[in-house]
Amino acid sequence: MIKRRLWQRFIAHLDPILLTLLGLLLLISLVVIYSASDGNWFRVLAQATNILVACVALWIVANMPLHYLMRAAVPVYLLGLVLLIAVAFFGEITNGARRWLNIGVTTIQPSELMRIAVPLMMAWYFEKHEAILTLKNYFIATLLLLLPVALIARQPDLGTAILIAASGFYVLFLAGISWRVILTFLIISMASMPLAWSTLHDYQRHRIMMLLDPAQDALGRGYHTIQAIIAVGSGGVVGKGYLSGTQSHLDFLPERTTDFIFAVYSEEFGLLGNLVLLSLYLFVIMRGFVITAHASTYFTRLMAGSITLTFFTYAFVNMGMVSGILPVVGVPLPLISYGGTSMVILLLGFGILMSIHTHKKLVQT
Amino acid sequence: MKPHIEFKDTQREIHYFRVRLALSLGFVLLLLLILLARFVYLQVIQQSHYQTLAENNRISIVPIAPSRGLILDRNGVILAHNYSAYTLEITLNKVVDLKATIDELAKLVDIQPGDRKRFKRLLADNRKFESLPIRNRLTDDEVARFSAQRYRFPGVEIKARLFREYPYHEQISHLVGYIGRINEGEAAQLEEDEMAANYRGSDYIGKTGIERSYEGELHGKTGFQQVEVDAGGREVRVLSRTPPVSGNNLVLTIDAKLQEIAEQAFGNYRGALVAIDPSNGEVLAFVSKPGYDPNLFIDGIDEQSWNELNNSPDVPLNNRALRGQYSPGSTIKPFMALAGLHYNKRAPGYTISDPGYFGLPGSRHRYRDWKKDGHGSVDLFKSIVVSCDTYYYGLATELGIDNIYSFFSEFGFGKKTGIDMEGEVSGLMPSQEWKQKRYKQKWYAGDTVSVGIGQGYNLVTPLQLAYATATLANNGVAYRPHLLKEVQNSRTSEKRTLATKLESNLNLNSEHLTLVKSAMVAVTQPGGTAAKAGADAPYTFAGKTGTAQVIGIKQGEKYIESKIQERHRDHAWFMAFAPSDQPKIALAVLVENGGHGSSTAAPIARKVLDYFLLGKVPQPLLIEDEAEGAEHD
């Protein structure tokens, strides 16, 4: 009896539908990582550990009342900003980019923190000024977004910058920024394209050029894209079978367990596998939207909507990049790619979603 | 600007929010559809295209080069063979800094600037993932040293490869020839002949001599291996294998020992010797002096050696036996005599009185005999024995160039013999037609006079003269000269003997032949021009000396050998066959700037005949052989 009540308390703030979907995706992750790492159990075990840690984070956040989260918004955002500035001055340079900060014990990547911190801060800000929202408020919210985005883009880490910008934009959009502003912004950004091009780093330009014609540098920068497309295409309808992807197992694919894991999956499971994966993602997103639609406060609606849409964006950008319709921007496939930080951040996001859903219920009863 | 103000209206706000949420969902669905469309395009519509690309990625066809056939002499002595040796090879796309890697390697194994140069050349015309040798023939020491440090050199490997070797070095070089790396022109030719596939994996091709002429027999058939490779080009596993078929071994008609003796007999002289078995056309010895070391050419000759060979006044790269063209001099006299008998211009007993010169009617020009005061009374027999020029001036004039041309053509003068070696030249047998074409001039009677003693326009190769001698020895029955005796399948040891090819039968009158031959025998006996060379021979042999002028001697001047620069001295000829009644060997010797045939060319012929007929090894060689034997003991 006690045991049962304890169990009930344990799962009280978890969303069974979302949990099931996430569980299926994470299972796929372990299965595909086993293949992508050529049967390396250590890699699978390491990913399982990542998942476990992330699940703990999810559970903690899901059980956290929302005002805790709101209270955390400003300090977390400011901390992230300070760290980003610190990176700009003292960061460690790897591969020509200054992204990591050595904090003695370990190195951290503050831009990861900003994935949650930025929408959190913006949602908090809109909640604060919910009563009367003026253009000024949108303008300030945009500044809150652009400041960290600019710092991250300067590192340079264009992929993360764009995705954080997207997550912020979703908050703005859901907060009701007027269509006129969106349109004006679109026109201005279109017009400033040439200017933006000139500020891009060589390797970023290369990646964009590669997207337009990967074959022009088949052994150089276009190589990854071409091999990934070959992997996806040769998978056909039913795939080559688990552990039988030649592109994957003969080393033709780069970064097989991380950014290009979708190519491995797609080669071995084919179009049918892709349909399963797309469906799972779609269900997760739809569940996210249901939670968003039923969220009780302005803050929670914005938060839930942004988290859901950002999750989708990650999935879309990664699959688009692997299948060659988007430039290679170094974004992992959410919930599938190997990696600790991104797993924790993602499940943290879903923890917030669950918290939003379950605490509202508790409030209502 | 009027501030945009919205008052809090929860219901309206939620409505607006849901509209935006719905729009977002639409956005999500749209993008997912785009992805799906992309997947369908790649995985359904273009599937076979990418399938092919993936297979091409995965499977690599690796050729397995066959081992080249051996070249043996008629007794099974090896003239060209293969040996296995270690090479140090670099696969370019696995090496980060090529120069640094080579510099590091140079600390372990001896890498000469020449090796680097050659490697650079190889790099230029090979693909990135092919393994290319930076050093060939590593010593055991070097192999051991590299093996210990191997971990430091990713992309560098030691491989066992087969190398061609010519154990006789300078000797027999012109006959055997050599192989070398396939160059662009040859690659294009292979492509044209649709042989390119069979040469995938072969680095070498025959360049000269037998190696070139019998490339098709020697090369063998390339095998193939279907290999699964990873992105680095490393073999993962073998999917299927078609083994190569080794090239055929060639047994030549040459007797290596005879060849060796002939080459030694030349001493420091330049020249050529061709010996033929008159009964079947088998070439027994095929000498061109000086030779060169064919081993130098296999992996691309270094510049210094090349310059030495190429710029040497001795022209060691010229195959004189096959391509050297010389005035035949007096060696044509036996043929002239036969022509005179054949066309009834001379009877055996017809005698002339030789004053030491010949003049054409109506001309004051004197054609001098080599003997200033003449030979006195000369009949056909004596004309050959003493090599009387005056006799042949008159005979030639009476025969006329047309008869001479047609008779000599039958003996193969002015035509390629058709020997089984590429690059043969045809020499020159002049005719009225030829002169008209070549010089736009009519044929003068004086031209015929010079042709009569082999000092006119006519040119022969040592091979041609040997062939004509063999035909004469065999009573006018000509067999095409050939170097290949037999082809052996190196795997099954199955043998294929080459059919002797009867070229022609001149149907010569046997009395004429007997007369001319007996005169040639007399040449090597006391009173003959080659009496010294023929002294004490336990067999009878027929011969004829000849001298080919290198520079013209003006009217009234005398040719004094000692006063003329060595290279302007006459070339010496000697033709012979033996035993005279049942000829087993016929030969022609040319010694460049050797002066008289009797003094330099005939002794060489004698040594060759002595060995061939009696098994007698000349003294200097004998000493060498004993010394060698002692060493082996």
Domain ends where: B165, B199, B220? B220
Of B220, B247, B273, the position where a domain reaches its end is: B220
Domain co-membership, B196 together with B292: no
Lookup: tokens for A82: 């300070």
Q: Is residue A6 part of a domain?
A: no
Inter-chain residue contact A250 with B47, CB threshold 8 Å: no
Question: Do B281 and B161 sit in the same domain of this protein?
Answer: no
Shortest CB distance from A176 goes to which of B20, B28, B55? B20
Residue-level pLDDT at B96: 75
In a domain, A47, yes or no: yes
Q: Position A11: which residue type?
A: I
* B21, B50, B55: residue with CB nearest A174: B21
| pLDDT of res. A347 | 95
Mark whether B195 and B271 lie in a shared domain: no
Better-scored residue on pLDDT, B493 or A120: A120
CA distance A95 to A258: 17
Q: What ipTM does this complex have?
A: 0.92
Report the C-alpha gap between A166 and A119 in whole angstroms. Answer: 10
Average pLDDT across chain B, whole number: 85
What are the tens digits of pLDDT across the range B388-414? 889 999 899 999 999 999 999 999 999
Residue B270 shares a structural domain with residue B148: no
Residues of chain B with pLDDT under 50: 1-3, 5-6, 622-633
A21-74 per-position pLDDT tens digit: 999 999 999 999 999 998 899 999 999 999 999 999 999 999 998 888 899 999
User: CB contacts < 8 Å between A and B, how many?
Assistant: 130
Residue-wise pLDDT for B515-538, tens only, equals 999 999 998 888 888 888 888 888
The CATH number linked to B176 is 3.90.1310
**What pLDDT is attached to residue B271?**
92
**Domain shared by B277 and B386, yes or no:** yes
Give the CATH number for residue B452.
Answer: 3.40.710.10
Concatenating the DSSP letter of every residue in B198-242 gives GGTT--EEE-SHHHHHTHHHHH-B-EEEEEEE-TT--EEEEEEEE
pLDDT at B14: 84
Burial class (CB in 10 A: 0-12, 13-18, 19+), B618: middle
B436 falls within a domain:
yes
**A252: nearest CB among B8, B50, B231:** B231
- 3-class secondary-structure state, position B64: strand
For CA atoms B508, B509, B510, B512, give the dihedral sign: negative
Q: Is residue A11 part of a domain?
A: no
Token pair, residue A44, equals 């699978």
Which helix (H) or strand (E) segment holds residue B308: the answer is: helix B303-311
Interchain CB contact of B26 with A (< 8 Å): no
| Minimal-distance CA residue of chain A relative to B30 | A316
Domain that holds residue A37: 18-364
β-bridge pairing B249-252 and B71-72:
parallel
Asked if residue A13 belongs to a domain, the reply is no
Instruction: Note whether B343 and B216 are same-domain residues.
Output: no
Answer yes or no: is A9 within a domain: no
Within this chain, do residues B199 and B115 fall inside the same structural domain, yes or no?
Answer: yes
> What's the average model confidence in pLDDT over A329-335?
88
Which residues have CB under 8 Å from B443's CB, separation 6+?
Answer: B401, B431, B432, B435, B436
Q: Does B538 touch chain A (CB under 8 A)?
A: no
Cα–Cα distance for residue pair B274/B288, rounded to 1 Å: 9
Residue A2 lies in a domain: no
- Indicate yes or no: CB of A170 within 8 angstroms of CB of B24: yes
- Taking the C-alpha atoms of residue B173 and residue A64, their distance in angstroms, rounded to an integer, is 94
Q: Is A4 helix (H, G, I), strand (E, B) or coil?
A: helix
Query: Does any domain span residue A333?
Result: yes
Distance CA B494, CA B502 (A): 25
The answer to the question of residue B361 being in a domain is yes
Domain that holds residue B532: 256-301+325-485+505-622
In a shared domain, residues B265 and B167: no
Nearest CA among B29, B94, B577, B39 for reference residue A238: B39
* Residue B528 near residue B522 (C-beta atoms within 8 A): yes
**H-type alpha helices, chain A:** 2-11, 16-36, 41-62, 66-90, 110-128, 135-154, 158-174, 179-191, 193-199, 202-212, 222-235, 246-249, 261-293, 298-322, 340-364
Average pLDDT over residues A178-191: 86
B241 within domain boundaries:
no
Position B374 scores a pLDDT of 85
HSE at residue A18, side-chain half, CA atoms within 13 A, is 29
**pLDDT tens figures, A239-295:** 999 998 888 888 788 888 888 999 999 999 999 999 999 999 999 999 999 999 999
As to burial, measured by CB atoms within 10 angstroms (0-12 exposed, 13-18 middle, 19+ buried), residue B230 is middle
Residue A190's pLDDT band, with cuts at 50, 70 and 90, is confident
**B53 in contact with A, Cβ within 8 Å:** yes
Query: Which residues, including other chains, have CB under 8 Å from residue B276's CB and lie 6 or more apart?
Result: B282, B283, B284, B466, B467, B469, B470, B481, B585, B586, B587
Nearest-by-CA chain A residue for B31: A316
Mean pLDDT score, A327-333: 84
Cα(A107)–Cα(B460) distance, integer angstroms: 89
B376 plus B276 within the same structural domain: yes
The verdict on B211 and B266 lying in the same domain is no
Cα(A196)–Cα(A189) distance, rounded to whole angstroms?
Answer: 9
pLDDT for B126:
61
Contact B47 A236 (CB under 8 A): yes
Counting the structural domains of chain B, the total is: 2
Q: How far apart are CA A213 and CA A222, in angstroms?
A: 8
Chain B hits for A233, Cβ within 8 Å: 42-43, 46-47, 49-51, 53-54
Contacts of B92 in chain A (CB under 8 A): none
Tell me whether B228 touches chain A (CB under 8 Å).
yes
CB B176 within 8 A of CB B168: yes
The pLDDT of residue B633 is: 30
Distances (CA, A) of B77 to A92, A262, B253, B614: 73, 66, 11, 20
Please give the structure tokens belonging to residue B88: 């140090």
Query: Do residues B283 and B254 lie in contact, with contact meaning Cβ atoms separated by under 8 Å?
Result: yes
Look at residue B308 and tell me if it is in a domain: no
> Cβ–Cβ of A134/B4 closer than 8 Å?
yes
Number of domains in chain A: 1
Q: Is B267 left (phi over 0), alpha (psi -120 to 50) or beta?
A: left
Phi then psi for residue B17, to 5 deg, are -60, -45
Q: What is the pLDDT of residue B559?
A: 60
Taking CB atoms and an 8 Å cutoff, what residues of chain A touch B8?
Answer: 130-132
Q: Does residue A293 belong to the interface with chain B, where contact is any CB pair within 8 Å?
A: yes
B2 class by beta-carbon count within 10 Å (0-12 exposed, 13-18 middle, 19+ buried): exposed
Distance spanning both ends of chain B, measured CA to CA: 117
Residue B231 lies in a domain: no
Query: Are the beta carbons of A282 and B28 separated by less than 8 Å?
Result: yes
What is the three-class DSSP state of B282? strand
Cβ pair B54:A229 closer than 8 A: no
A7 in any annotated domain: no
Q: Does B127 touch chain A (CB under 8 A)?
A: no
The pTM score is 0.65
Show which of B169, B198, B220 is a domain's final residue.
B220
Higher pLDDT: B175 or A2? It is B175
Return the sign of the alpha-carbon dihedral for residues B170, B171, B173, B179: negative
